[in-house]
Structure formats: C-alpha cells, structure tokens
Amino acid sequence: MKGVMEGLIVSSGLSAFGIIHDMMRSSKKGFEVQIFVILTIVTSILGGPRGNKPIATSELTHEFGPFITDFSIDIFKSLVKSSFNGTTSPENVIFSPSSAFRALLLLSLSAGDDSKSQLEKGLHIEGISEVGTKYKSWKKSKLKGVMEGDRLYRDKSVTIQDTFITLIGGDDIEEVDMSDAGTVGTINEWVSQITDDQISKFLDKIDPETKLILLSAINMKGEWTSGFEKKDVKQAKFTLSDRSTVTVPMMYKEDRFDYFDSESLKSGVVSLDYKDSPLKFVIFLPDEDQTIQKLVSLMSREVIQTAMAGLKAASIKFSLPKFQVEKKVDFVPLCKALGITDVFDPFKASISAFKSDKPLYVKEVLQKVVVNVDEKGTTAAAATEENFSVRGGATPFTCDRPFVYMIYDKSSGTPLFLGTMMNPNE
C-alpha cells in the first residue's frame, strides 16, 4: 500500500499532482486574505518489504484513538454515500483517517473562536482537556512499520505564536520565501525523504498568495506474516455491484487466519497480520444478501471494536485480489458536512496562531492515497483462470465481490486506512 500526504490543501500518494491550484486572492470591499495550505501525504506498502530505512519499533500509545475512529466513520459514510450517488458502478473509496485527523488537529490548535470550536466538534475532541499535550505525546510515540512527521513551511512575512512553535517543535518549522521557485524543491525534498522516495515530486508550483503550508505525512510499510506464493496467483472473476464481472489476479492461500462472523454487519471478517507489528489488514466481506451501502451504514466504533475482539484463529480457504488504487479526496465538503465551515470562509476564519499582513483562511483540503496490495511486493500473476474449491474443514472466504477493508492499529484501536474495493481493475 502506498501513500498519503495531507494538508489544507491535503493530499497523499505516490505522486501528488495539482496539490496547490486555483489559489486566488479573495477581496471584497477592500478586504484581502492570504492562503493557508495544509497538505497530507500518506505512503503505504502492503505485501513485501521495500527499502532499507530503519523503522520505529515501539507501540503507539496516543490518547486520540476513540476520536480518530469516530471521525473516520463519519468521513467514510459520507465518502461511500457520495460514491454511490446516481450510479450502479461506484468508484473505489480509500482515505487515511489518521492522517486527516492529525492535520485537522493541528489546524484546530492554531485556530480561535468559532473556527476552533467547529474543528473540535468535528474531530470529536470537544471538551477534551490538554489537547496540545496529547498531540505532543502522539508525535513522540512510534509505531513499528509507520513513520509519521509534521512540517510547517511559513513565508518570511508570517510570524508564529511561541506557544504553537513549542507545540509543533521548532525543528519542524522552516521559514521560506513562497515566491522563490526553489521553495518547491525544498518541500519536495522533505516529502521524498519521509516517504522513502516513493513521492519525489509532490508540488509543481506554489501560488503566490500561499503563505503557510503545513505537511502531515505517514509512511507505512507492511510485510505479511504469512505471505502468498507467486504460483498461487490465478486469474479469477470478480463480480461488480451491477452484477457484471471482470477478470482479476486473485491471490489464494489456505491457512489459519483470524476470523469473525459479524451478525450485526451481516459480513464475514478476516484479518491478516504483519510481521512484528500491531497492524492488521482487515477485510469485511458482505454476505451474499448484504450490500456495501448497508454494511457501511451500520459501522460504528463499537461495531468495529466488537469485530476486532471477536476475531479467532480458524482454518480459512482465502482468496484476495491484487489491486492498486489511487485516489484524491476533497475534504472541504466532507468537513463542511461535519459543521467545519468557518476556516474555509475568508471573512470568518480565525487562525490565531499565525500573524500576517492580511488575514489567513484555508482554501483547500485534499488527500491523495495510493494503495498497492500484492503477494510479497511482486507484480507477476499467472495467465490461467481458475475457480477454487474448498477442502473439508476450511471456511471459504472468497473476496470475489465488493468488500470493505482497513489497516487497523490494534495498539490504539484506530484505522490508519479505510476503504471499499468495488473494482480491483479500476
């Protein structure tokens, strides 16, 4: 699985393009504003190992777990509903709730007045004490297989409150000249480093009205504890939501997997472990008479926790399509649906931690995600088509129709990635 980079603009992926665009100066009756951009990058690999950079080994212990999960369900339901709007062939959905939450959390810590209260309510942290202290604890924590980082680039014309400098860390704030073409290269270099060179060119240009760029990045690597064999990748049929079929490379393995039959979701649940990691790749496969829309509508933090607690080792005849998905998510309408509106309004935004010669507001929130799931990081697949039969005693779990999946951190009880797979060939 590869990549997310988030910001306001928020973006993520192996190659984030058009991250800053249409950033026009707003003026009304002589009132002028400048742009605050937040970018989110998430890079993630599922399957085989890539690269040799060291990975943090201690478990994540931050205190935002329940809030991230509630926020992720809110966003996920909106995304899935939108994907089905007026079509029988919905697109795949994928986003990183953890990365989006982290970027918006930093925004809330820089905001004031109604801008701040709206963000806190949308993030489910309303009334929570010592949010800044909790963020600093999260930033210091490490999760094996995951590297996270925040970086704030400020134009030389912008000053920052000392309290916010202390919060984010002075080493993660860099003064730049946003009008200098070389600043693009500076930002791209940082992105390249934290994403293990998976994203080498994140920005093409910076709009001259942009005065702040906040980057929040996640780079995730995962190697299956028990991988798939190349010889067990076969061409098979995948039935889409409109009942048509496509041929996909299907990975097959019969082994013991953690399994749970969720009566409340009318879905089977299987999880795959990663080597020496608290992360799990979890699949919710709807029963034949269940739909993705209904499944997602029933999801909640409590339902997810019940499913994860109910997982037990069982003999499974398992098949999963190889897939790669690249998506860009516009978080502005999603945030507005949660009641987060003022920060996007040049006449209402209150971003009090930063001072400039003109007021600041958030123009865009974009997230770009690239997901790559394979057997062990390879791309080869056999050319034959095969249907799999089940030997006695093994439960079939055949992902040959749309399903929900997530990368779940069991140490904090939160999804790092959450998505629907509607068409592996999309």
Digit-coded pLDDT (tens) for 372-412: 788 752 222 222 333 333 345 689 999 999 999 999 988 88
pTM over 0.95: no
Question: How would you class 52 by CB atoms within 10 Å of its CB: exposed for 0-12, middle for 13-18, buried for 19 or more?
Answer: exposed
Cβ contacts of 119-126, under 8 Å, gap ≥ 24: 119/340, 119/343, 121/338, 121/339, 121/340, 122/71, 122/74, 122/335, 122/338, 122/339, 122/340, 123/67, 123/71, 124/66, 124/67, 124/70, 124/71, 125/64, 125/67
> Which token pair is 385?
């088509």
pLDDT at 35: 65
pLDDT at 246: 97
pLDDT at 296: 98
Q: Which residue has the higher pLDDT, 142 or 92?
A: 92
Q: Which residue has the higher pLDDT, 421 or 142?
A: 421
CA-based nearest residue to 415, from 402, 424, 405:
405
> Which token pair is 333?
């309408």
Span 107-136, average pLDDT: 92
Tell me the CATH number of domain 224-320+390-421, given options 3.40.50.800, 2.70.98.90, 2.30.39.10, 3.90.1150.10.
Answer: 2.30.39.10
Taking the C-alpha atoms of residue 93 and residue 423, their distance in angstroms, rounded to an integer, is: 10
Tell me the CATH number of domain 33-48+59-222+325-372, given options 3.30.1520.10, 3.90.870.40, 3.30.497.10, 3.40.640.10.
Answer: 3.30.497.10
DSSP E strand stretches across 92-232: 93-95, 146-155, 159-160, 173-176, 210-223
pLDDT at 42: 56
For the chain, which residues make up each domain, given as ranges? 33-48+59-222+325-372, 224-320+390-421
Angle at 118 between CA 117 and CA 122, to 5 degrees: 120
Q: Give pLDDT tens digits for 193-252.
A: 877 776 677 788 888 788 888 877 777 777 888 888 888 999 999 999 999 999 999 999
